Every structure is written in structure tokens, then in C-alpha cells.
Amino acid sequence: MSKYVKELVTRDIKRRLEGVEDAVLVSCVGMDANTTNELRGELEQKDIHMLVVKNSLARRASEGTQLHTAFEGASGQVGVCWGSSDFVSLVKELVKLDKDKEKYNKFVADSGVMDGEKLDADGLKAVSKWPNRQEQISMLVGQILGPGSQLSGAMLGPGKKLNSQIKKKSEGDE
């Protein structure tokens, strides 16, 4: 590949990865074209983008960004996956696909980068066990509403008890 073509490809990769701060590197070397196309379609349905690139070109395109650390030590072709609603959801989906060896036996979630820090395969598996954004929001709402509902119950409980006793007393006098 000539220098000019490499520069064009590098600029295209840089343009596609612009604004991406967290990503997962996957390996899909050895998968046939039909399986790869099926994988891309499944990822696209979940709003996950996958770009297969030569690591040296990706390393050159990601210089000066948070993604640069992800490509250190990578060799050959790598698939860069990003998107989804949040990084934890992305990792959960990719680790799930990595475990599904029946359908995608050559697919491997190798590493990733989160907030500028490189994650290895074990780090990705650990992140996949975290609650995603929706789960975190529901836990937060539960924590916010919990004390209010307890306070409401504590304040209304004695009033209801007194009301039932007065009602019972008034029914007994008739």
C-alpha cells in the first residue's frame, strides 16, 4: 500500500472514530464472509458499530485520543466496536457473543479502553457484570424514593389506626 493510500485510509478511520472515547477491540479472524455479515447485522440491531482495521493504521489514526491505548500491543487485524446506549451495555453484548461459541466460534472480545484506560479480556468480563445505565438509574430512583415512602408510611400509619378505632367506637355506640 502506498503512503498516499495509507494516509487516505488513516484519515477515514480517524473520521469514523471521531468522538468515540470508549471502545472494545474484538478479533474475528477466520470467520467466513456470511458469518461476519450476520454478526454485523446483529450488532447493528443493537446500535453497535464495528470497524475492522489493520492495527497499525488504527494506531496512527487514534494518536492523541483516548482510544490510542487500546491499540498498544495489538497485532494483525482488529475489530473496533463502539456504540450502544452505554459502555457497560456494549461490553455485556460483546462478552455474550464471545461466550456463544456455537454461532460465532472465531469471535473473541480481546481488550478495550474505558476512560482512557486499557482493559484486558478479564477486565471486560468484570465490566460486563456491572449494572448498565438503565439498571443504575432504577437503583438510584429506588434509593431516592425509599426514604420518602418510609416516612409517608410512618406518618400515615398512626392516623389510620386512630381513624379505625374512632370508627369502631362510633359503630359500637349506635
At residue 66, the pLDDT reads: 83
Q: Spell out the residues 6+ positions from residue 89 whose beta carbon is closer than 8 angstroms to its own.
A: 132, 133
Per residue of the chain (174 residues), what is the pLDDT tens digit?
788 888 889 899 889 888 888 899 898 888 888 888 898 899 999 999 999 998 888 888 888 888 888 888 777 888 899 988 888 888 999 998 888 777 888 888 888 888 888 888 888 888 888 888 788 888 888 888 878 777 777 777 787 777 788 888 888 755
Domain ranges of the chain: 3-130, 143-174
CA 172 from centre of chain? 64
Q: Spell out the residues 6+ positions from residue 40 whose beta carbon is closer than 8 angstroms to its own.
A: 50
At residue 6, the pLDDT reads: 86
Backbone angles phi, psi at 17, to 5 degrees: -90, 5
At residue 174, the pLDDT reads: 53
Quick check: 130 and 88 in contact, CB under 8 A?
Answer: yes
Distance CA 86, CA 58 (A): 22
Distance CA 52, CA 81 (A): 9
CATH architecture of 3-130: 2-Layer Sandwich (3.30)
Distance CA 109, CA 24 (A): 7
Q: Which residues of 89-118 are buried (b: 16+ CB within 10 A; e: fewer)?
A: bbbbbbbebbeeeeebeebbbbbbbbeeeb
At residue 48, the pLDDT reads: 92
